Amino acid sequence: MSILINKETKIIVQGITGNMGKTHTALMLKYGTKIVSGVTPGKKGQEVSGVKVYDTIAEAKEKTGATVSCIFVPPYGVLDAAYEAYDAGIELVVIITEGIPPHDEVKIIRRASELGIKVIGPNCPGIITPGECLIGIHPGIIYKPGKVGMISRSGTLTYEVALALSNAGIGQSTCIGIGGDPVIGLGFIECLKLFNNDPATEAIVLMGEIGGTAEEEAAELIKKEIKKPVVAYIAGRTAPPGKRMGHAGAIISGGKGTAESKVKAFKEAKVEVAEVPSEVVDLIKKVIKIPVKV
C-alpha cells in the first residue's frame, strides 16, 4: 500500500542521543513509527524516549530485526555511520544530516550501489507513508493517507504542497524528500519507477529545483515508461546563475540546470507543470480518478 516503508517497518536511529536524534525520535514514535533501537557508540544501556541505545548497529539489529536506519549524526561522521549500517546488513539508509562534504557523499553512494543498498538523502526530510510510518523530520500532522505519491528535492516546499493537497481532501501514498545535495541516493528516476509499480499510488507529484539535470532525465523516463499521471513543479525560476541557493545542489553553473530547461523537458514529456505551488492541487484534481471528498 506504499513504497519502501509501511507500518511493519522496523527502524534504528543512528545518533539517537544527539539533539536532533532525541527530538525526532520522540516525534517519530508519537507518529507511530516502529523505532526499535538506537545507536551511539559508548552509550549502551541508555534509553531515549524508552528506546534502548546500543554501541553498534550489528548488536542493535540482531536484538530487534530492524531493516532500516535513520542517520542523524554530525556531517563528518556520516560516512562512517553509513558504512557501519551497510556492514550490518541494513537494507535502507535514510540520511537526514546536512553539510556532508561531497567527497564523502560520493563514497557513501558508490558503496551502497555496489552492495545493492538503498539510500535516501543526504540532506533530506526523509520519507513518510501517512498514517503508517514516518522516518526523518517531516511534520507528520500535515500529511493524510491517500493515493498521491510525492518526490521532492526540498523539505518545506514539500510540506507546503502536501498541506495544500491535504486541505483539498487529497491524501498521499508515500512522500520522499530525496535531498538537496549534488550527490544523493535514490533519485527521481528510482522513485518514479517505484510509484509506477505501487498499486496504492494513482498519481505522482514531482518537485524539482534548479541545478543539475535530474529533472530532465526524469522527463525522459516519464515519456518512455511511466504510466501514471505526473504533475511537476520547479522552484528557482528567478534564481541568478552562479549562486548557490541554500541547497548545495541548487546552483545554475555553466548555463546548465536552469528552471526553463527543466520546464521545457517536462512539457515535451506531456507532464503538466504547475506555475505556483498551489496549482499542483488543481492539476492533480484533473488527473486523479477517485472522487475527492472535501
Partner 1 sequence: MKLFEYEAKTIMSTVGIPVPNGQTIKVAEEVFNLKVNYPVVIKCQVQTGGRGKAGGVKFANNVDEAYEIAKKLLTLEINGIKTSCLLIEPKTEIEKELYVAITLDRGKKCHILLGSSEGGVEIESSDSVKIVPVKNNYSPYFGRKLAKEMGLEGQKLTMVSEIINKLYFLYENHDLDLAEINPLVFTKDRKIIALDGKMTVNDDAIDRQPFFQGWEINHMTDISERELKAKIAGLNLVELSGKIGIICNGAGLTMATMDLVKKHGGEPANFLDVGGGANESRVRRALKLVADNPNVKIILVNILGGITACDEVAKALKAFALENPDRKIVVRLLGNNQDKANEIMKGTGIKSIDDLDQAVKEAVALGEPA
Catalytic sites, residue numbers? 247
- Write each residue from 235 to 254 as x if it is in contact with partner 1 (CB under 8 A), else as -, in one continuous string: xxxxxx--xxxxxxxx---x
**Angle separating helix axes 78-87 and 57-64, nearest 10 degrees:** 40
Nearer to partner 1, 60 or 204 (CB): 204
Check: CB of residue 75 under 8 Å from CB of residue 122: no
Residue 101 in the binding site for partner 1 (CB under 8 A): yes
Q: Could you say which of 25, 40, 64, 158 contacts partner 1 (CB under 8 A)?
A: 158
Query: In the chain, what's the furthest Cα-to-Cα distance?
Result: 57
Residue 116 in the binding site for partner 1 (CB under 8 A): no
Contacts of 126 (CB under 8 A, 6+ apart): 70, 94, 96, 120, 134, 135, 136, 137, 138, 177
Q: Where does this chain touch partner 1 (CB under 8 A) — which range of 45-53, 61-69, 196-204, 209-217?
A: 209-217
Q: Could you say which of 142, 194, 205, 218 contacts partner 1 (CB under 8 A)?
A: 142
Q: Could you say which of 46, 59, 277, 287 contacts partner 1 (CB under 8 A)?
A: 277
Q: Where does this chain touch partner 1 (CB under 8 A) — which range of 46-54, 57-65, 168-176, 231-239?
A: 231-239
Residues in region 10-49 near partner 1 by CB under 8 A: none
Output the smallest distance, CB 264 to partner 1, in A: 16
Q: Could you say which of 117, 163, 168, 200 contacts partner 1 (CB under 8 A)?
A: 163
Nearer to partner 1, 73 or 210 (CB): 210
Output the smallest distance, CB 166 to partner 1, in A: 12
Q: Which 3 state secondary structure label does DSSP give 114?
A: helix
Nearer to partner 1, 24 or 147 (CB): 24
Output the smallest distance, CB 165 to partner 1, in A: 14
Nearer to partner 1, 13 or 245 (CB): 245
Where along the sequence are the contacts to partner 1 (CB under 8 A)? Answer: 75-76, 99-103, 106, 109-110, 125, 137-139, 142, 152-160, 163, 180, 182-183, 207, 209-210, 212-214, 217, 233, 235-240, 243-250, 254, 275-278
